[in-house]
Amino acid sequence: ALAVLRDAPALELLALDLSRNILPPASAGPLAALGRLRTLGALHLDLAHNALGDAGARGLAALGGAPALHTLHLHLGANQIGPGGAEGLAELRRVPALHTLSLFLPHNALQPDGAQALAALKAAPGLRTLLLDLAHNQLGNGGAQALAELREAPALEDLHLRLDSNKVGEAGAQALAELRQAPALRTLGIALARNFVGDGGAKALAALGGGAALRALFLNLSDNQVCDGGGETLRALATAPGLTTLHLNVSYNFVGEQGTQALTDLTQGPQQCSICVNPQLETGASR
């Protein structure tokens, strides 16, 4: 059936939802062959909850030869993908026209080595927008440190990392704060819910506001053992020189009255600002 799609003479955008089937690794080859369409510019493949494994992920790397592909969204959650599969997916950096890439890989087994493999995406010369959903992948501090290498991506303007439930601690947060060095980065989102960054990690992440080009920051530190000290250090984001948009979530922590007051001061900073200290109370400002 997929062979029929390859005969479409002017197809520019294709979306296929094949989630929650029993697709084996061998199915990746025919899917990757869709990239050979000379006119195909945008491809959305939802393959979540299948059985692709590392072999299937490596098969999708054949998309690297897609001549016209500029936008690619791959949903590969819950597919038993490990470091070997991540290494294959990193080959997508070779797609010649690629400027937008979303890889949804939650609930796999990437571990630190898988994160290190995906960090090779920094070498994609024209990549401007990158989303990596790596929640529930046993990344730890090592994985976070590897992903911090994305700061070397020359053209990256919009980066979103979903790292929820990965046992990331203070050392990992310190490494992620180095993303502020990315030369072209204007929008950064880091989701770290249900990790262990603590006050030390919160202090490190407050330095993200120092990014030379950064204009928008989305930071989720929900359920991270952050206390009043962490809340106070995050107040530094109010004086970030170029930041115009800030969304900060520190719910389900141990932030008390003192920390809450410090976080409230953030509304005097960026023009668009929302702060969530607990699920029932959210403060915001728009000027």
Q: Are strands 71-75 and 272-278 parallel, antiparallel or unpaired?
A: unpaired
In the three-class reduction of DSSP (H, G, I as helix; E, B as strand; rest coil), residue 274 is classed as strand
Give the model's pLDDT for residue 182.
97
**Mean pLDDT of the region 205-221:** 96
pLDDT in tens, 239-277: 898 999 999 999 999 999 999 999 988 888 887 899 998
pLDDT in tens, 106-143: 999 999 999 999 999 999 999 999 999 999 999 999 99
| Residue 122 belongs to a domain | yes
Give the model's pLDDT for residue 2.
64
Buried b (16+ CB within 10 A) or exposed e, 201-221: bbbbbbbbbbbeebbbbbbbb
List, in sequence order, the alpha helices (H) in 221-283.
228-234, 257-264
pTM metric for this prediction: 0.95
Backbone angles phi, psi at 144, to 5 degrees: -65, -40
| Residue 105 belongs to a domain | yes
Residue 169 has pLDDT above 60, yes or no: yes
| Residue 128 belongs to a domain | yes
Closest of 268, 210, 278, 199 to residue 234, by C-alpha:
199
Give the model's pLDDT for residue 281.
45
Q: Please, which pLDDT band fits residue 224 given cuts at 50, 70 and 90?
A: very high
| Residue 252 belongs to a domain | yes
Q: Are strands 71-75 and 100-104 parallel, antiparallel or unpaired?
A: parallel
| Residue 112 belongs to a domain | yes
Sign of the dihedral through C-alpha 266, 191, 127, 70: negative
HSE-up (13 A, CA, CB side) for residue 113: 8
Backbone angles phi, psi at 252, to 5 degrees: 55, 45
- Higher-confidence position of 286 and 97: 97
Percent of the chain surpassing pLDDT 90: 85
Q: Please, which pLDDT band fits residue 36 given cuts at 50, 70 and 90?
A: confident
Give the model's pLDDT for residue 287.
34
Residue type, 10: A
CATH at residue 105: 3.80.10.10
In the three-class reduction of DSSP (H, G, I as helix; E, B as strand; rest coil), residue 231 is classed as helix
pLDDT in tens, 50-63: 999 999 999 999 99
* Structural domain boundaries enclosing 109: 66-286
pLDDT in tens, 172-190: 999 999 999 999 999 999 9
| Residue 259 belongs to a domain | yes
- Tally of domains in the chain: 1
Report how far residue 35's alpha carbon sits from residue 46's, in angstroms, rounded to the nearest whole number. Answer: 15
Neighbours of 222 (CB within 10 A): 19
| Residue 36 belongs to a domain | no
Burial of 272 (0-12, 13-18, 19+ CB in 10 A): middle
- What secondary structure does DSSP assign to 7-37, as a single string? T-SS--EEEEE--SS---GGGHHHHHGGGG-
| Residue 232 belongs to a domain | yes
**Mean pLDDT of the region 150-169:** 99
